Every structure is written in C-alpha cells, then in structure tokens.
Amino acid sequence: MLRETLSMVRDLSRLHEIASVLIRYGWGDMVRLLGVSHLLERAGRLLHWQTSNDITRLDLPVRIRMALTDLGPTFVKLGQILATRVDVFPPAWIREFEQLHSHVPPVPFELMRPELERVWGGKVEDVLGDFQTEPFAAASIAQVHRARLPDGTPVVVKIRRPDILPKIEADLRILNHLARLIELQMPDLRRYRPAQIVGQLKRSLLREFDLIKEARNLESFAERFSQDDTVRVPRVYWPYCGETVNVQEELIGIPGSDIERARAEGYDLGLMAARGADAVLRMILIDGYFHADPHPGNVVYLPGDRLGLLDFGMVGRITDSRREQLIDFLEALIKKDEAGMLNVLVQWSGDAEIDEDHLAYDISEMVFGYDNLTLKDIRVGALLNEVTTVMRDNHLSLPPDLTLLFKALITLEGLGYQLNPDFHMVDHMTPFVRRVMEARYAPQALARRARHGLREIAEIVIGLPRDVARLFRMARRGRLRIDLDLKRLDHFGLQLDQAANRLTMGVLTASLVVGSSIIMTVEGGPELFGLPLFGLLGFVVAFFNSLWILYSIWRSGRD
C-alpha cells in the first residue's frame, strides 16, 4: 500500500493531466469515485470541474475516443487495443476506437540524430546515403525515414522517439492502479476486465518499444514466405539494427489504400484479394503465427499482382489447442451442431460464470439465422460479429489471442471485399480447414494423441498415492490451506486494515494521556514552562494523534 501511494505521488503531474482530461469530457464522478481528486487537491493541484455543454451532448463513445486522443500515445494505443475487443464493446464503440491513429507531429531529426549515431558508431551521412531527414510517417512510438544502403538499395529507417519511456511507464503505473480500483469499486465495469486489458496494453507497448522484436518478426515471416512468389515481406538489414533503430527494405509499389490507382494500372484485384486471403489464412490455420492488423495501410500492391505486407509490430500467436477449438467451432457451425458450438464457447470463456441455458438459447437463435444459407453465402466477418455479440450479451469475453484473431479475420474480409465485390472468405477458408481436419485425423496424429493421453493418465495414476499421502500429512500437521480469490475481499481487507490502524492509534493515544497524567504528578526531572517536560511532550503527541484519528474518520466518511 505504501509502495503504491509513493508511486502515485511520483506520478502526480501526469495524474493531474489525466484527471483534468476526464473532467473535461464529463467524467468528474469517476475522478471522485477513484479518490484521485483528494490526492491531487491535498498536493495543492486544484482541479477545474467545469464540463462544456457541447461536449456532454456528444455520444459517450465519441467522448471516450476524443479523451484518449488528448491523453497521448499510451492511451491512443489503449484505444487501438480496445478496437480489437469486439467481444466486449458494441459496434458503435468499435467504430470510434478504430478511428484512433497514432499519427503525431514528427520529432525534429536533430533530436533523433544522437541515437542513430550511437547505434551506428558514425555520422548518419557516412553510414547511409540519401538520408531524408523529413520523415514520411510518424507514430507515437517511432517515426520512419527513407534512405539508401551504400550499394544503392532503398530502405526505410524506423527510429524510436527519444525520452518517451518515462511517460509511458508513468501511464502504465496509473492505468494499472486505476484498473484495480475499477474492479473493486465499480462492479458494473468489472466484466470488461480492465486489469486484463491493461496487461494486454503493457505487453503490446513493450513489443513495439523494442524495434529488434519487430525485426525478428519480419525475418520470421520472410522465411515462412520465402518459397511463395506471390507475397513479399521486407528484408531486415541487421548490421544497422538496434533496440531503438530498425532498418528494412523499402517495398516500392502502390499503397493498399489506393485501389483506384491499382485498378487503373491494370492490377488483377480479384487475384490479389485471393492471394492476400490465402496468405493470412495460412498464417492463422497452418503456421499459428499471423499478422494481426492486415488493413490497407499495411499492404503494398507490387508488380506481377503480388502483395507486400508491412508493419509487423503487432502479431498474434495461436496455439495448437486454440486452433483445434477454432476448427471445432467452424465444423460445428457447418453441421449446425449447437451443442458443439456451446462446448467451444464455454472453453473460450475460461473461468467466467455462465448461464448455459441462456447461452444455448442465444446460440440456437444465431444458428437459425444461417439455416437456409449455403456455406459460400456465409460472411465470416458477420458471423464472428454475431459470435462476439452472443458472448457480450452473456457477459463473457474472449481470450486476448482470439480477439486479435477475430479482428484480423474481420479486417481481412473487409479488404477482400474492397478489392473484389465477389470475394467469399469461406471459399478460401474451406481448403485450409479441410487440410487441418485431414491432418488431425491422420493415423500418425491419432496415434500421437493416444500416446500423449495414455502418458498423462499413467502419470496421474502413478502420482496419485504420493499426492494423497502429501494431502493427509498436511492436514495432520494443520498446514492444509484453501485459497479463495474473492475480488471484494481485498477491499474489505483494506478497510479492516485502516480500522485496525485507527484503533491502534487510539489505544496508543489513550496510553500517552494516562502516562503523561501520571508523570505530571511526579516531582523532579526536567521542566518546561514549570511543567514536567516528558509529561508535556506526551500530551502534545497525544493531541496530534487525536487530530490524525479525527481526520482519518472524517475522510473515511467522505470516501
């Protein structure tokens, strides 16, 4: 508790900025509820509680998006992560979060130069030729410049912004503290799992903060597509890379957002839509390692109807077990097996409390909507949106890896429709699903799973006597312990701890009063103003203790 208090005091300036923005956009009640206002006002930082009527007339999702924009890079990234949580937020909120882009004014190159020269060990102009000091892209974490290698190869240089780490660390500390408070104080918001979202934000920021990790992602995907002539991934030039600098090949082509130019120059857009879908589906269903944000800005149309994939800062991983669950769900949907779909959704929900009857009814309603559709008529994006709506209506949320996966599939299908109005994601998904199903039921795979299952059963049986004996020994020694994880119990413990502290101080104050009264009756010893010094000091300490107790009781009544 002391450590958290000191941390919040250290971040007072940033906390004041955040509280001021929240109040400006109409969330003064949240600032009061979280106790932030008391902390700031005690530190002499007055808050202005006025909110513009023009702002309060805006829809809540719009106000949240505007507030996140004003709060800076960490919160913009938070909004981008929230845009992937289609299982938690309704479509209107997702649309607002998707508008958050971390395009920010660039940092003057002279401020970036020292870091580049430290990493490269020489002057920028001596290392790379034709270095363009004006960046062509700038985001919250890094900005990108064009240059050429000594042999003339065009490259892009991604440089991390200087001095952004302290602010990001302060934001993460504050968000982590606020997430715990929200889970304790706001039961209605607990189902959004704020602590989990902050954890996801922290992991994402740390991945993007280390530009070496993006370089490794690029190299990994380039190796996976090395035998595929239809997809290009930029090459990494490792001698020029570091934690703060990333140098990669520049793919020169038509930006993915400029579809009209690609059409005018004779590109086969339908073929490129098919190749893009096959590439991403292969990543997901075969490799289990995928580009998590395949939107048009991260795509380049290359000569020969090839696709270039950019920006591998955000990637997703899907485990073998999760892939099996996804295949089970698709298979159950095709067969209209409601029980199979229910089983998979229960697995995805983890330890959440589930009203299975209500969930089963919602699944039945969803399946009924696809009763007369053929497989090719199913839109994957609409289906995934319906699945997330069912989970949201049942107060369930998806694991973070699945939210990235769902978002990637929805984005991919949207890009496919932009390129080709006759694009059908299911047509491209079916061969991959069939391939995975065949691999799952191949004799070697069945034998491998059987051996694995038998080994697990044998380990359980062999270890059972040992585990039972250990359980009885612990019970006999009185060391058997049962851990309960109750959210509100932490808050109750905190209140109990504060009450115990006040009680202890009260007892000590009373003891000081009694002891000092006795000393006052004893002759001899040092005096002050004609009174025994130690008795007088005891009364002074007791007086200040009394003031502290009264203030603490008054504060607890206000909170």
Q: Give the pairing type, strands 299-302 and 254-255.
A: antiparallel
Computed on alpha carbons and rounded to an integer, the radius of gyration of the chain in Å comes to 30
Catalytic residue among 11, 293, 311, 362: 293
Residues 6 or more apart in contact with residue 335 via CB below 8 angstroms: none
State how far the alpha carbon of 61 is from the alpha carbons of 33, 68, 95, 98, 476, in Å. Answer: 21, 11, 9, 11, 57
249 - beta bridge partners? Answer: 155
Q: Residue with structure tokens 């203030």?
A: 551
Amino acid at 540: V
- Do the strands 306-309 and 231-232 form a parallel or antiparallel pair, or are they unpaired? parallel
For the chain, counts of helices (H) and of strands (E): 25, 12
**The tokens 């991945």 sit on which residue?**
207
Phi, psi of 371 (to 5 degrees): -65, -40
State the distance between the two ends of the chain, measured CA to CA, in whole angstroms.
Answer: 17
Amino acid type, 349:
S
DSSP H stretches of helix in 394-486? 400-419, 425-440, 443-476
Cβ atoms within 10 A of the Cβ of 48, count?
9
Q: Please report the DSSP string for 218-242 in residue order.
A: HHHHHHHTTT-TTEE-PPB-GGG--
Burial of 330 (C-beta count, 10 Å sphere; 0-12/13-18/19+): buried
Q: Where are the alpha helices (DSSP H) in 233-337?
A: 259-264, 269-281, 320-334
Instruction: Extract the tokens encoding 326.
Output: 């996804």
355 is catalytic: no
Other C-beta atoms lying within 10 Å of the C-beta of residue 80: 20
Report the alpha-carbon distance of residue 148 to residue 146 in Å, rounded.
7
CA distances from 319 to 286, 324, 349 (A): 11, 9, 16
Residues designated as active site: 293
